[in-house]
């Protein structure tokens, strides 16, 4: 039976554990998580395992990325189950710092990405991305990974982090992996545990609308946006926050007919739970053979 | 005759040059400069040489730390003389990136230190420190130093960077070295070249006032502040910007009698040239034997 991965609780312990592999020229892969691990996270761990020599998973419910009134206290914390889920997955180290030590009350430094963090998620969560970029910069400094793995579901987040890593020359390749879904289409999320059975059924409207957008995509951003807004605006139990068709790099809304890459992104409340989902829209082409 | 140090112009070249030493477990020392090197910079280089295995000097006139109307275009650029000055100083690598490549127009990421960057220099130069912290974070990421060396003259700068390195767990020990002065007391600065002979004589009021503050220091911040303001407020040719007695870590103005560490900091225009200077104030003690 496989052993559970080693756990480091402090920056010093992480650095000490990774100094040897780094000197030996081994590549480090980091999967940053807030715990409550599901198959989406495990798909990132497996990608890291395939792509790097040493796999580090951070488990840290980052208080900086929660706004006032959000679900910081309620956010699921399932450390023992997380360790069990990672056992046998070839994880070399779990970094699980204490919040009081890793985000001390007297810290004063923030990292901000201008522009990419104005709309979409940021419209509802104005301080969210500064919390993300600040802590991810810190995690990258502590762990010194060569590659870091993020889920596409948090589409804006991965775009912001990709930009930050480039702008600050962090030396980290940001790798984004596709959304992992339950068989009925629901995007996996640690917040799905908040959903009642009825809410879970209502929530399927998001992935269904995105799947329809993918099937129907003919390069017309306005038409696809209107379809998403129409479908999700009237879906039972769904209170739509936004539905957009965006440029995957700049995150700017696309207008009219477009022959480059595009991404559909949606956010909605189902009951008290805020869910997001996304789907790439293939470039329009007359020849898909 | 000693050879001039090797020069790297790109992040990729720096990383390639330092991968070997890092894997060999050698310590890296970084001296970040804007060029126009003087003995103050060389004192930092010598400290790096004594304290680390591999010495890297960056020479980069960082456009992000200059505000509108400041002296970005006029700032002295003396690359050949700088290389000559570093020859024989045991510098392993000079990193001199192109501004268009290292601070591209489309970069969107900034690093900000809250609070420490509100007063003193920031009162006159509101965007200055974001430019400093953003580029120093980037330099630290590119060079991956174990220690970085800063001059005490830019007192607020070293305090801000020290805080940033701690908050973001950058793994860099920030080392601050004393102000280096001309024999008459003038703090060395690349901007001293702007001064006419008359202005240079007027500028001596700054270091003279600080020396008097050091001699007279008896722990009374209000009295010392009043002395500095009185002396420098009426010094010929000096247009005082600020004179403060501060806590060296928080940079907050000290009030009343104080028995801990304190720092005097001054800034003034002499002619069109803005100069800064500083001096540590020794803790008051009845027994200095």
Q: Does residue A166 sit in the same domain as residue A221?
A: no
Q: Where are the beta strands (DSSP E) in A28-160?
A: 28-33, 54-59, 93-95, 109-113, 147-151
Does A183 fall in a domain?
no
**Encoded tokens for B101:** 């490549």
* A24 lies within 8 A of chain B by CB: yes
Closest CA to B277 of B184, B127, B149, B155: B155
Q: A210 is written with which tokens? A: 């995105």
Q: Are B144 and B235 members of one domain?
A: no
Predicted ipTM of the assembly: 0.93
- Token pair 């040059």: residue: B17
User: Which of these three, A131, A152, A177, is where a domain ends?
Assistant: A177
Residue located via tokens 């402090």: A10
Question: Which residue has tokens 């034997």?
Answer: B289
Q: Tokens at residue B102, please?
A: 């290292």
Provide φ and ψ at A183, rounded to 5°: -55, -30
Percent of chain B scoring above 70 in pLDDT: 97
Helix (H, G, I), strand (E, B) or coil at A194: helix
Q: Is residue B267 part of a domain?
A: yes
Band of residue B282 on the pLDDT scale cut at 50, 70, 90: confident
**CA B250 → CA A39, A215, B116, B154, B247, distances in Å?**
45, 58, 7, 15, 6
Q: Is residue B274 part of a domain?
A: yes
Give the total number of structural domains in chain A: 2
Whether B159 and chain A come into contact, CB under 8 Å, resolves to no
Question: In the prediction, which pLDDT does A282 show?
Answer: 84
**CA dihedral for B130, B186, B51, B59, sign (positive or negative):** positive
For residue A155, pLDDT over 80 is answered with yes
Q: Measured between CB atoms, does B146 come within 8 Å of chain A?
A: no
C-alpha–C-alpha distance, residues A59 and B70, integer Å: 45
From B287, B280, B274, B286, select the one nearest B124 (Cα to Cα). B274
Evaluate if residue A286 carries a pLDDT over 50: no
The pLDDT, as a whole number, for residue A283 is 67
Domain CATH number, residue B198: 3.30.1300.10
Is residue B286, in this structure, part of any structural domain at all?
no
**Whole-angstrom Cα distance, residue B289 to residue A42?**
65
Look at residue B287 in the predicted model and tell me its pLDDT. 44
In angstroms, what separates the C-alpha of B111 from chain A's closest C-alpha? 4
Across residues A133-158, what is the average pLDDT? 98
Non-local CB neighbours of B285 within 8 Å, separated by 6+ positions = none
Give mean pLDDT, residues A81-91. 97
B21 and B99 share one domain: yes
A104, A234: one domain: no
- CA angle (B105 as vertex; B103, B109 as ends), nearest 5: 65
pLDDT at A1: 56
Per-chain mean pLDDT for chain A: 95
From chain A, the residues in CB contact with B108 under 8 A are 113-116, 163, 167
- More confident position, A38 or A258: A38
Residue B171, chain A, CB below 8 Å: the answer is yes
Q: Over 80: is that where the pLDDT of A284 sits?
A: no
CA distance A192 to A221: 29
Both B90 and B211 in one domain: the answer is no
Q: Is A115's CB within 8 Å of B138's CB? A: no
CB contact under 8 A, A114 and B133: no
Picking from A109, A133, A170, the nearest residue to B141 by CB comes out as A170
Question: Which of B168, B171, B172 to mutate to test binding with chain A, by most A CBs within 10 Å of its CB?
Answer: B168
| Lowest mean pLDDT across A274-283, B35-44, B133-142, B220-229 | A274-283
The pLDDT of residue B259: 86
Q: Are residues B143 and B43 in the same domain?
A: yes
A110:B109 CB<8 A: no
- Sheet containing B238-246: which strands, arranged edge to edge? B238-246, B262-270, B273-281
Residue B160 near residue B132 (C-beta atoms within 8 A): yes
Of the two residues A102 and A287, the one the predictor is more confident about is: A102
Contact A168 B25 (CB under 8 A): no
What pLDDT score does A287 carry?
45
- Does A171 lie in the same domain as A36? yes
Task: State mean pLDDT over A220-240.
Answer: 98
In this prediction, residues A167-188 reach a mean pLDDT of 98
Q: Is residue B152 part of a domain?
A: yes
A18/A141 same-domain check: yes
Q: Is residue A215 part of a domain?
A: yes
Please indicate, yes or no, whether residues A156 and A70 belong to a single structural domain of this protein: yes
Dihedral angle over CA of B150, B152, B158, B159, nearest 10: 150
Would you state the pLDDT for residue B3? 82
How many residues appear in chain A? Answer: 289
| pTM exceeds 0.90 for this model | yes
B11: nearest CB among A109, A141, A169: A169
Nearest CA among A152, A138, A197 for reference residue A14: A138
Flag if B169 and A113 touch (Cβ within 8 Å). no
Select the more confidently predicted residue: B118 or A83: A83
DSSP A154: S
> Does residue A198 lie in a domain region?
yes
Same domain, yes or no: B49 and B147: yes
Q: Which of A24, A110, A141 sits opposite B170 (nearest CB)?
A: A141
Gap between the Cα atoms of B84 and A203, Å rounded: 68
By the CB < 8 Å criterion, does B115 face chain A? yes
Assigned token pair, B139? 């330099």
**Quick one: A167 and A204 in the same domain?**
no
User: Percentage of residues in chain A with pLDDT exceeding 90?
Assistant: 94
Taking the C-alpha atoms of residue A255 and residue A246, their distance in angstroms, rounded to an integer, is: 9
Q: Is residue A94 part of a domain?
A: yes
The overall average pLDDT reported for chain B is 95
Residue finishing a domain among B130, B146, B177 = B177
As a whole number of Å, the CA-based R_g of chain A is 19
Q: How confident is the model at residue B288 (pLDDT cuts 50, 70, 90)?
A: very low
Q: Is the pLDDT of residue A288 over 80?
A: no
The model's confidence at residue A279, banded by pLDDT at 50, 70 and 90, is: very high
| Contact residues, chain A, for B22 at CB < 8 Å | 22-23
B84 and B163 fall within a common domain? yes
Domain residues for A243? 190-280
Q: How confident is the model at residue B286 (pLDDT cuts 50, 70, 90)?
A: very low
Residue of A nearest to B172 (CA): A141
| Average pLDDT estimate for B196-207 | 98
Whole-angstrom Cα distance, residue A170 to residue A145? 9
The answer to whether residue A50 scores a pLDDT higher than 50 is yes
Contact A148, A140 (CB under 8 A): yes
pLDDT at A276: 98
**Would you call A6 helix, strand, or coil by DSSP?**
strand
Residue A121 sits in a domain whose CATH number is: 3.40.50.620
Place of tokens 């003995």: B39
CA distance A226 to A236: 18
Report which of B137, B129, B135, B204 is spatially closest to residue B167, judged by C-alpha positions.
Answer: B137
Domain end call among A123, A152, A177:
A177
């Amino acid at each position: 039976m496989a052993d559970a991965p080693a756990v480091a609780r402090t920056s010093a312990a992480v650095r000490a554990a990774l100094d040897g592999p780094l000197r030996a020229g081994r590549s480090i892969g980091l999967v940053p998580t807030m715990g409550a691990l599901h198959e989406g996270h495990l798909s990132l761990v497996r990608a890291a395992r395939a792509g790097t020599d040493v796999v580090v998973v951070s488990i840290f419910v980052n208080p900086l990325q929660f706004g006032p009134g959000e679900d910081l206290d309620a956010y699921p914390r399932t450390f023992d189950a997380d360790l069990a889920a990672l056992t046998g997955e070839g994880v070399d180290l779990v970094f699980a710092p204490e919040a009081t030590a890793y985000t001390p009350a007297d810290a004063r430094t923030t990292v901000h990405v201008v522009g990419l963090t104005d709309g979409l998620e940021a419209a509802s969560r104005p301080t969210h991305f500064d919390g993300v970029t600040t802590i991810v910069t810190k995690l990258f400094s502590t762990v010194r990974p060569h590659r870091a793995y993020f889920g596409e579901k948090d589409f804006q987040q991965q775009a912001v982090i990709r930009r930050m890593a480039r702008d600050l020359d962090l030396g980290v390749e940001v790798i984004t992996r596709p959304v992992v879904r339950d068989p009925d289409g629901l995007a996996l999320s640690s917040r799905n545990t908040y959903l009642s059975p009825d809410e879970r059924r209502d929530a399927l409207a998001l992935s269904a609308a995105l799947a329809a957008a993918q099937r129907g995509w003919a390069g017309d951003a306005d038409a696809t946006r209107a379809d998403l807004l129409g479908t999700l605006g009237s879906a039972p139990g769904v209170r739509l926050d936004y539905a957009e068709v965006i440029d995957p790099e700049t995150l700017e809304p696309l207008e009219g007919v477009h022959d480059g890459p595009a991404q559909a992104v949606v956010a909605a409340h189902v009951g008290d739970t805020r869910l997001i989902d996304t789907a790439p829209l293939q470039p329009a082409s007359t020849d898909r053979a």
